[in-house]
A = this chain, B = another copy of it.
Amino acid sequence: MINVKYVLKRDGRREPFDRRKIEYTCIKLGVPDDVARRVSLLVERRAYDGISTRELLDIVFEELAKVEPIFLEIVDLRSALGRLRSKPDFEVYARILLRSIGFKTKPNLMIKGKCLEYEVDGLAYSNGEVYIVEAKHHSNPHTYTKLEDVMAIFSKYMDIVEGFREGIHTINPAGVIIVCNTKFTEHAIRFAECKGIKLMAWRYPKSRGIEDIIRKGHLYPVSILKNLDNEEMYKLLDSGIILLMDLTKIDPSMSIGIPRCRIIQLKRKAKKVLDYLSSSPEISLRRSPELSL
């Protein structure tokens, strides 16, 4: 008799434990293949029937930390994105992601539509076209962005388009881009695709999701550091230190309300973590989307 262990997914579904998914998760986290394999075996041994994916990820990080102590220093990327504040951090971060894939951006601004004046989270320029940017952030990284959210954004966008047509403003948007730290529901995706709304979200579009953009551009947010408390983190973010990369370049004598010695320590950590995460092979190329935790 084979003893199949089931994993409880966040949406309530159960699926058989699959060691390859653990291996794949490890590889995505930047560890070499042989380490990934070893860790996946150790995790398999500790997994029990009915374990949640959250617990499983904790065990992965624990086991990885035994091989690579750097995993004591960081949280997973998905949680790191959730730690950012919706305003202004994630709006700023969304524009960083857009620039990394070739857009020019402008910060948030107010635009008058036909009916109302709206705040938009940025403008993005590419090939002579301008797009309205909407940053959609959930502090719980497992909250889906719903159809209603996308429909509301579409109404806002259309009203801004009408505002242009009626000569109320001079921005003639070619479309709207929603940058989101979480996933979209299936209905939300179908609606967006049908209306020509561009989505940049967790694992969407496949193999060009924000996690891929972040890994390729080494655009890890400072919130990936585990032992950075919120107060310190907000001081960094408020001073424009959004990325680990920014932190590695920080001048320790900057007066941002964090002691110089702590800044030096954080800078060193950031460098170590960034070097580690950036040294990983080009993961996205050998990625199989169905094999992920």
Contacts and interface: CB of A to CB of B under 8 A. Distances in A.
B116 A190 contact: yes
Contacts of A155: 151-152, 154-155, 158, 191
Contacts of A156: 151
Contacts of A148: 148-149, 152
A115 B195 contact: yes
A268 interface: no
Contacts of A191: 115-116, 155, 159
A114 interface: yes
A190 B115 contact: yes
Given A154-B155, A155-B155, A116 B187 contact: yes
Q: Chain A, interface size: which category?
A: 10 to 19
Most chain-B CB neighbours within 10 Å: which of A148, A155, A159?
A: A155
A194 interface: yes
A92 to B, nearest CB: 22
Given A114-B194, A154-B155, 11 more contacts: A115-B190, A115-B194, A115-B195, A116-B147, A148-B148, A148-B152, A151-B153, A152-B155, A155-B155, A155-B158, A155-B191
